[in-house]
Amino acid sequence: MQREIEAGEGAFSRIFLELTAGLRRWALRTEVWQRGKWRGAVLSASGVDVGTLIGAADVREIIENVIARNVGLIKDVSQQAQGRITDAVFRGLNQRLPARDVAREIRQAVDMSQRRAMGIASHQLSDISNRLADERRREGGLDTWMWIHSAKKHPRAEHLARNGKEYTDETASTDRPGSLPFCGCRSRAVLVSV
């Protein structure tokens, strides 16, 4: 039994190495996509193409922080799943449960982890997109932004109340668009003419 658990831990370690590389590719693709959106928005609003002025190096720290955070979240999900699987196996041995019952418990543990992982992935995509947009806005010297509500079916009342209102980094609340779990809100830079 211990050999099987150790073999499983070795497999999880290999998966983490692969996941870290995959997360890096995902974060860089997200940055390229977000940079293209920012470039298009600036071009549309001002007629100026900022393509040569912005690049991935400008947001490297954000990307590295996002990768580290996501690796930590995935490890946490994996450790919880490993614990549930180990508990199911030991409970099966101690209670002399049929293999099909133990297998069902293992499937349930993995399914729960998959649901949680999907929730984390959804939130992290929203979070990285908003963080990159905020950084691009700051790089462009734009301080003012508008809260854009997600229009989800069950919104947070305070987020719905903020929809369409303009803020600066100093006047905004601490929970920014997209920062809370399952929040699909976003910010839109506002070009203020003087």
pTM over 0.85: no
Contact 30, 131 (CB under 8 A): no
Give residue 165's pLDDT: 94
CB 148 within 8 A of CB 186: yes
Q: Give the domain CATH number at 69.
A: 1.20.120
pLDDT at 59: 85
Write down the pLDDT at residue 161: 93
CA atoms within 13 A on the CB side of 146: 11
Q: Which domain holds residue 180?
A: 142-194
- Dump pLDDT digits (tens) for 145-158: 999 998 888 889 99
**Residue 8: per-residue pLDDT:** 58
Q: Are residues 150 and 168 in the same domain?
A: yes
Which of the residues in the chain have pLDDT under 50?
none
In this structure, are 135 and 119 located in the same domain?
yes
Total number of domains constituting the chain: 2
Q: Are 136 and 163 within one domain? A: no
pLDDT of amino acid 104: 79
